């Protein structure tokens, strides 16, 4: 099964621990998707945007491990993204996107999380970290706007995943 990652699952070292049978295929560009930070990475449709991503071949056991890691189906849901593969063929790899509207969840990611994504960018040949920086800057700006307008509450500062969900996989 084809899987496209745009966040920390681009990091080959981390994916080797989470999904030892996953096989990295290539770096790709997600046309029409914008990287955003909601303390963790997400993508949102934007016809003018392009986002660096990694294409993986995964097994069913990898998918189950990723489901647990991604908080599926509470935090993330699975979506098929139509795209041209590097060989020119069309495919619809699976991607995790946040479930439901989460505008209030915009917030900056931790330095360690960003470093993990940056390592993944380099793993797949993306030297320009501008999309990652832009997503973080926008998240900080959105959080400040929410603070100024009084819309930032305690829930907005809590982790975006549902309580009791596994955040890591054994």
Mean pLDDT of all residues in 52-71: 98
Quote the CA–CA distance of 130 and 133 in Å, as a whole number.
5
More confident: 83 or 102: 83
Domain contains 138: yes
Q: Note down the domain range covering 77.
A: 2-149
Quote the CA–CA distance of 145 and 159 in Å, as a whole number.
19
Count: domains in the chain: 1
pLDDT classification of 84: cutoffs 50, 70, 90: very high
- Among 61, 78, 79, smallest CA distance to 22 is for 61
The residues, ordered by sequence, that sit 6+ positions from 13 with a Cβ below 8 Å of its Cβ are: 119
Helix runs in 3-129, H state only: 12-18, 60-70, 111-123
Domain contains 85: yes
Domain contains 128: yes
More confident: 99 or 146: 99
pLDDT computed for residue 22 by the predictor: 98
Task: Provide the whole-model pTM.
Answer: 0.86
Collapsing DSSP states into helix, strand and coil, what is residue 139? helix
pLDDT computed for residue 106 by the predictor: 79
Domain contains 80: yes
- What CATH number did the domain enclosing 24 receive? 3.10.490.10
Domain contains 46: yes
Q: State whether the Cα torsion 39-44-46-48 is positive or negative.
A: positive
pLDDT at 168 over 60: no
Mean pLDDT of all residues in 4-24: 98
pLDDT at 49 over 90: yes
Domain contains 155: no
Domain contains 169: no
Q: Are 10 and 54 in contact (CB under 8 A)?
A: yes
pLDDT computed for residue 165 by the predictor: 33
Segment 138-155, tens digit of pLDDT: 999 988 888 888 766 544
Two tokens, residue 74? 């509470």
């Amino acid at each position: 099964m084809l899987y496209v990652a745009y966040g920390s699952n681009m990091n080959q070292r981390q994916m080797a621990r989470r999904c030892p049978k996953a096989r990295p295929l290539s770096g790709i560009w997600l046309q029409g998707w914008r990287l955003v930070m909601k303390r963790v990475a997400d993508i949102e449709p934007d016809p003018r945007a392009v986002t660096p991503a990694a294409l993986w071949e995964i097994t069913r056991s990898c998918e189950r491990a990723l489901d647990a890691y991604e908080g599926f189906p509470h935090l993330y849901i699975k979506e098929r993204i139509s795209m041209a593969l590097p060989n020119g063929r069309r495919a619809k790899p699976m991607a995790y996107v946040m479930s439901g509207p989460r505008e209030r969840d915009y917030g900056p990611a931790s330095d360690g999380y960003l470093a993990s994504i940056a390592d993944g960018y380099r793993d797949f040949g993306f030297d320009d970290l501008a999309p990652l920086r832009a997503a973080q800057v926008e998240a900080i700006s959105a959080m400040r706007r929410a603070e100024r307008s009084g819309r930032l509450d305690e829930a907005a500062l809590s982790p975006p995943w549902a309580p009791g969900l596994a955040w890591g996989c054994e």
